[in-house]
Amino acid sequence: MNNDSVINNTIKQIKDLGVETGKEFVKAAGQITKGISAGELLGDIKPLSDEELKKKKEEEEKMKARLKGNNLDDQVKELREKKSADAKAMADKVEMEEKRRKEEEQRQAEMYIEMPGNPSKAKKKRGSAFVPADKKSQTAEYSKKPD
């Protein structure tokens, strides 16, 4: 039973310590928020005066006028034509590369057909010493049995 009371006291003290730490944290957070004003966070924001508003509107209208002056349709067409020309050039390049690769493979295949592999390993042609068995037997000299 003595052990149970020690455990209970330890748990109670840990609980009290946590509550106290939480309260101190809340107080510190409150002090931090009091120290920071909205002006510091948002900066120096002032409403625009009438003159500044007019300048801003004039700048926006100038920008719109410049955009209207640009012929966007022509620029889009030009970009599409350039893109298609680039794509065609790339396709031509790929086609030429493929054609060159096939020609190279064909040339190598022809060289392989003309030249046999390793000449030292090629089957040597032998003279009449090795005539096929149906034309000459190995015991032709001894066709008769000895007496």
Q: List CB contacts of 48: < 8 A, sequence separation 6 or more.
A: 56
* pLDDT at 63 (0 to 100): 81
Outline where DSSP puts E strands in the chain. Answer: none
Q: What's the mean per-residue pLDDT of the chain? A: 78
pTM reported for the whole predicted model: 0.30
* pLDDT at 96 (0 to 100): 95
- Domain count along the chain: 1
Residue 147 lies in a domain: no
Residue 113 lies in a domain: no
Residue 3 lies in a domain: yes
State the average pLDDT over residues 87-102: 94
Residue 55 lies in a domain: no
Of 66 and 107, more confident: 107
Of 33 and 117, more confident: 33
Tokens of 139: 């015991």
| Rounded-to-integer distance, Cα 96 and Cα 90, Å | 10
| Rounded-to-integer distance, Cα 71 and Cα 145, Å | 114
Q: Which domain holds residue 26?
A: 1-32
* pLDDT at 14 (0 to 100): 92
- Could you tell me the pLDDT band of residue 128, with boundaries at 50, 70 and 90? low
Q: State the burial class of residue 35 (Cβ atoms within 10 Å of its Cβ: 0-12, 13-18, 19+).
A: exposed
